[in-house]
Amino acid sequence: DVKVTQSSRYLVKRTGEKVFLECVQDMDHENMFWYRQDPGLGLRLIYFSYDVKMKEKGDIPEGYSVSREKKERFSLILESASTNQTSMYLCASSPASGPSTDTQYFGPGTRLTVL
Partner 1 sequence: AQSVSQHNHHVILSEAASLELGCNYSYGGTVNLFWYVQYPGQHLQLLLKYFSGDPLVKGIKGFEAEFIKSKFSFNLRKPSVQWSDTAEYFCAVKKAAGNKLTFGGGTRVLVKP
Task: State whether residue 74 is helix, strand or coil.
Answer: strand
Task: Name the E strands within 26-72.
Answer: 31-38, 42-49, 56-57, 64-70
Which of 8, 22, 27, 44 lies at the binding interface for partner 1 (CB under 8 A)? Answer: 44
Contacts (CB under 8 A) with partner 1, residues 50-79: 50, 56, 58-59
Only one of the segments 11-19, 34-42, 62-70, 71-79 lies at the binding site for partner 1 (rule: CB under 8 A); that segment is 34-42
Q: Of the candidates 70, 72, 67, 90, which has an alpha carbon nearest to the alpha carbon of residue 20?
A: 67
Q: How far apart are CA 39 and CA 46, in angstroms?
A: 16
Which of 65, 108, 113, 115 lies at the binding interface for partner 1 (CB under 8 A)? Answer: 108
Residue 103 engages partner 1 in binding (rule: CB under 8 A):
yes
Residue 48 engages partner 1 in binding (rule: CB under 8 A):
yes
